[in-house]
Structure 1
Amino acid sequence: MALAADADGRCEIFTWDARTGTTRRVTDSRDGTLHCAVDADARVWWFAEDRSGRGRWYFQDFGGGPAVPGLAGLRPGLPYGLAVSDTGTAAIGLGDGRRTTVHLGTTGGPGRPVLTVDGAALLTGISPTGRLLAVSGPAGSDRAVTLVGCSDGEAAEVARLSGRRGRLWALGFAPGAAVDGELLLVQEADERYLLASWTPGGGLRSHDWCRFDTEITARWYPAGRRVLVRQDRHGRSTLATADLDRCTLTTVRTPPGTLLDAAPHPGDDVHYLWTDTTTPRSCAPRPAPGCPRSAACPRPFPAGTATCGRPARTDRCTPC
């Protein structure tokens, strides 16, 4: 994993290898580094920003090496999303305070603008083949989700999903799916929140059997049409597995408390970041990895980014 942790009073990016238990520091910036990711090829990405929040995405091999610009030739901007396809295509969203532009290109190669919208928007995913992008605007607007197709060096709007009748949030494309471009969404309807999906040619489909009375978020499992759903209700978090083919919802057992993040992994494993107000940190099921100086991140993550969006809350490193 890649994680943000305190380093001499500022946030920096570290890697942690669960197999060996080793931690490595990746960044060393005067102003700190907040945003990070790991792609399917185990490359570590981070956003090198200045005090105004503007900067560029870089990556390197998980074990170390030179820092390479994610896409060459891009001007510094505000971070509005990063997505990397299985085929090595990188998409980067950057803002200038007035507009948001999504750039596309081969990882490490030159980038080209494929979409520019007024105001702030968030790049929320790229399909496994790199042929389709999802960009999110205000959840209750006519441009809640915009689908953009990219082929032969050209980009064109494929579909636009409106949230006027109920807010709509895009959560990412299914990995390695037989149908390239199945997008997972959360839809608000009748004061409830339900899973939805969009496919090229099939349009938007609401999964009415999977609805909740409070807000939810979700992630695809690595294989199959299953989704891990996280719900926060009355100060408690719960997890469930939704099978979109069988229309079933199965509870995933977790200890009582709050889940700050959760992700499914191969082999049906589920990794989650858990906390409560009664359990001392040293008694947690599996403490987060320690770094040279373990303390809470002094700066919160800004909202509306591709990272977890939460500040560190323990006396140890907090995974993003």
Structure 2
Amino acid sequence: MAHKLKTVRNKWLGLAIGALIVVALMASSVVYGLTSITWSTALNAFTQFDGSNEHIIIIDNRVPRALIGAAVGASLAVAGALMQAITRNPLASPSILGVNAGASFAIVVAVTFFSVTSLAAFSWLAFLGAAVASLIVYVLGTLGREGLTPMKLTLAGAAIAAMFSSLTQGMLVLNEKALEDVLFWLAGSIEGRSLDMLGAVIPYIAIGLVGAVFISKKINTLVMGEDVAKGLGQRTLFVKAGAALLIVLLAGGSVAVAGPIALVGIVVPHLARFFTGSDYRWIIPYSAILGAILLLSADIAARYVIMPLEAPVGVLTAVIGTPFFVYIARREFNQL
């Protein structure tokens, strides 16, 4: 597929414009919502804080929400791009391959049976659940004479996601207290999250994003094919293992702070390729920018869909992403 930005200069310009859009959306996230806030009031909250209701909402709710939206959107998108690269599966994403469901399951188990409430513990549990789910899906996808194939990986991921989701729902039905504690989180939302929640996972998310940029050149070699990569001297197992670790950091960190938000990781990498082509040195940063744009836009829209109530942003991303997922799936199956 021909991409839109042909030259390096245009790609850098696209990144700069995308970054400006992210900043504009973060500012809009601070201003727009159920509580009417003017731009001057938002500015005064930082320069002349007076303890008013509007200023408290801005500092304690809207600013953390904007920062979390940008971080989670970027993380899920980059995790999806890495998954699609190392599996050579255009349908791969943290939600489709069960990574989000595994992270959710681990947290619900901890809340249900061990009454865990620590944000730091949530982070580690999300990473553990994401890693276990990834390992199970990979093992199932490699079974059989043909080895790992995109179709088998997708089916294994869907099965594991369904299993973990069913187990999670079953535990919540049996434990109403746990349901109350984690329902807001399981919906996939960034509303009501605090900077402390982001602070608990931002080191891991930062490592994942920076690591993805550094590994992008090796990913370019890997996607040429296993035999070609090995022929060029690449130790493909180490590259895949490194990418898998970054995926766990990004997806686990995102789920820990925002819950399982669906389909960002599958939609955004395809949009990045539309602009940049197949070079992962550009796909990774474009995925981060576009992921932040998508999640921030969806979160702002979610405030108005059923006002005065708010829809979880995960619902909006599912509505946006499902038709795109069906399109990609139909295109890939028609090519078989």
For normalisation by structure 2, the TM-score amounts to 0.22
More helix by share: 2
For normalisation by structure 1, the TM-score amounts to 0.22
More strand by share: 1
Between 1 and 2, higher relative CO (CA 8 Å, sep ≥ 6) is seen in: 2
